[in-house]
């Protein structure tokens, strides 16, 4: 049983290529997972810990850089953000403590926030949105505050909202009915709170996805007091890429084959020999892959291996530091 179930997440935890289920349950202080046989049939509960007191949130990401999917949790009974190392087969080690001072911890998320290629951690607790830099192989630095004005913070999420190639942060604040975002400068310095809405009465959850098919990431919220699910169109990006840009610009000209079952080749044009960062996102805005390219002047090609990802629609972006272009890639 998952008594007082509070959070759920889906990821491949045992490395067999299908998507398993991860849960947090508040009343029994449990983080557990359930193996998928590949056909949507799930095995018995496998306990990761029963010491996440007041477990409130769970997430999965590769936190130690070894290629498998580790588990991250927040618990409001002991004010902890912790992670559990996966050995690659779904066997998890003990708690690795990130902090014990996330008072009333409500939400946790993981993404590369400072652009150094590893996976950092975000938390929402009390009235704070904070992050913890991954210093390599799962060693995390001190808490870095993004905002202390997320009153009654309930949810945190990361996504590239302004299309500049880095991960911005979203928050939902219960007390002031607020959905807000914080712009990232690319190295983990965040701007002031920018309000999306103050009408999400009892704001409880927030995420981002391309809801209107225009290749930018819109915002989705759930609010407790008014029983609403709502979305907010992204108006930050008027155009990510235009088909008739001059040749002194960064251009993404082709993605072939598209759809693909295995690999896809990106053909792109660069006006000068400078590094270009490739990012691959799913439609929730979750960063799946980062690659630093070293192109020559003119036309270049890059291969992306899509067979390691489930079927669906993905967004590819190329960023040369001054321009960002994007394209849609379908994995069938």
* Same domain (yes/no): 286, 155: no
Chain centre to alpha carbon of residue 39: 26
291, two tokens: 């690659």
* Same domain (yes/no): 195, 280: no
Domain count along the chain: 2
**CA–CA dist 134, 72 (Å, integer):** 13
| 238 occurs within a structural domain | no
**Beta strands 276-282 and 312-319, pairing class:** antiparallel
Placement of tokens 């995390």 in the chain: 140
**CA–CA dist 74, 194 (Å, integer):** 25
Could you give the C-alpha distances from 165 to 22, 156, 183, 250, in angstroms and in order?
29, 19, 11, 14
**Looking at residue 15, which CATH number applies to its domain?**
2.130.10.130
* Same domain (yes/no): 186, 262: no
- Is the entire prediction scored with pTM above 0.85? no
**CA–CA dist 209, 211 (Å, integer):** 6
How many residues would you count in the chain?
Answer: 332
DSSP state of 308: T
| 243 occurs within a structural domain | no
* Same domain (yes/no): 256, 297: yes
| 83 occurs within a structural domain | yes
* Same domain (yes/no): 200, 310: no
| 290 occurs within a structural domain | yes
User: Where does residue 24 fall: left (phi above 0), alpha (psi -120 to 50 degrees), or beta otherwise?
Assistant: beta
**CA–CA dist 127, 138 (Å, integer):** 26
Please check whether residue 137 is in contact with residue 119, taking contact to mean a CB–CB distance below 8 angstroms. no
Res 283: pLDDT: 79
* Same domain (yes/no): 52, 83: yes
**CA–CA dist 24, 43 (Å, integer):** 17
Placement of tokens 């000068």 in the chain: 272
**CA–CA dist 279, 265 (Å, integer):** 14
Q: What is the torsional sign of CA 225, 229, 235, 236?
A: positive
* Same domain (yes/no): 117, 154: yes
* Same domain (yes/no): 183, 148: yes
| 170 occurs within a structural domain | yes
* Same domain (yes/no): 102, 210: yes
| 90 occurs within a structural domain | yes
* Same domain (yes/no): 101, 54: yes
236, two tokens: 């930050």
Gyration radius of the chain's alpha carbons? 20
93, two tokens: 């080690």
* Same domain (yes/no): 169, 256: no
Strands, E assignment, 249-311: 251-256, 263-270, 276-282, 287-293, 298-305
58 - beta bridge partners? 73
* Same domain (yes/no): 258, 227: no
| 240 occurs within a structural domain | no
DSSP state of 260: B
Torsion of CA 310, 315, 316, 321, to 10 degrees: -140
Residue 100: which residues within 8 A CB-CB, separation 6 or more?
Answer: 78, 79, 80
**CA–CA dist 95, 200 (Å, integer):** 35
| 200 occurs within a structural domain | yes
Residue range of the domain that includes 139: 5-232
Res 240: pLDDT: 39
Task: Give, for all 332 residues of the chain, the pLDDT tens digit.
Answer: 999 999 999 999 999 999 999 999 999 999 999 999 999 999 999 999 999 999 999 999 999 999 899 999 999 999 999 999 999 999 999 999 999 999 999 999 999 999 888 999 999 999 999 999 999 889 999 999 999 999 999 999 999 998 888 899 999 999 999 999 999 998 999 999 999 999 999 999 999 998 988 878 899 999 999 999 999 998 876 433 444 445 568 888 888 888 888 999 999 999 888 999 999 998 778 889 999 999 999 889 999 999 999 888 889 999 998 888 888 888 88
Chain centre to alpha carbon of residue 23: 17
**CA–CA dist 102, 124 (Å, integer):** 8
Please check whether residue 164 is in contact with residue 128, taking contact to mean a CB–CB distance below 8 angstroms. no
């Amino acid at each position: 049983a998952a008594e007082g179930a509070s959070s759920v997440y889906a990821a491949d935890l045992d490395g067999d290529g299908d998507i398993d289920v991860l849960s947090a349950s508040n009343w029994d202080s449990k983080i557990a997972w359930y193996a998928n046989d590949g056909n949507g049939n799930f095995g018995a509960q496998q306990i990761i810990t029963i010491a996440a007191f007041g477990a409130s949130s769970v997430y999965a990401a590769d936190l130690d850089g070894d290629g498998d999917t580790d588990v991250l949790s927040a618990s409001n009974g002991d004010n902890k953000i912790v992670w559990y190392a996966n050995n690659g087969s779904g066997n998890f080690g003990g708690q690795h403590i990130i902090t014990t001072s996330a008072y009333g911890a409500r939400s946790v998320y993981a993404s590369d926030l400072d652009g150094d290629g590893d996976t950092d951690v975000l938390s929402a607790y009390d009235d704070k949105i904070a992050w913890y830099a991954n210093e390599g192989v799962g060693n995390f630095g001190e808490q870095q505050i993004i905002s202390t004005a997320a009153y009654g913070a309930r949810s945190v999420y990361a996504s590239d909202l302004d299309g500049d190639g880095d991960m911005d942060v979203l928050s939902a604040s219960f007390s002031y009915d607020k959905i807000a975002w914080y712009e990232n400068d690319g190295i983990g310095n965040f701007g002031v709170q920018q309000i999306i809405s103050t009408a999400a009465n009892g704001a409880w959850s927030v995420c981002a996805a391309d809801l209107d098919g225009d290749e930018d990431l819109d915002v989705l919220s759930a609010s407790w007091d008014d029983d609403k699910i709502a979305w907010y169109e992204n108006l930050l990006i008027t155009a990510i890429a235009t088909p008739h840009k001059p040749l002194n610009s960064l251009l993404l000209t082709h993605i072939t084959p598209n759809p693909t079952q295995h690999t896809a080749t990106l053909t792109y044009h660069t006006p000068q020999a400078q590094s270009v960062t490739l990012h691959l996102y799913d439609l929730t805005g979750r960063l799946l892959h980062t690659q630093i390219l070293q192109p020559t002047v003119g036309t270049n090609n890059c291969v992306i291996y899509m067979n390691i990802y489930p079927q669906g629609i993905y967004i590819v972006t190329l960023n040369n530091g001054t321009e960002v272009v994007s394209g849609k890639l379908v994995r069938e």
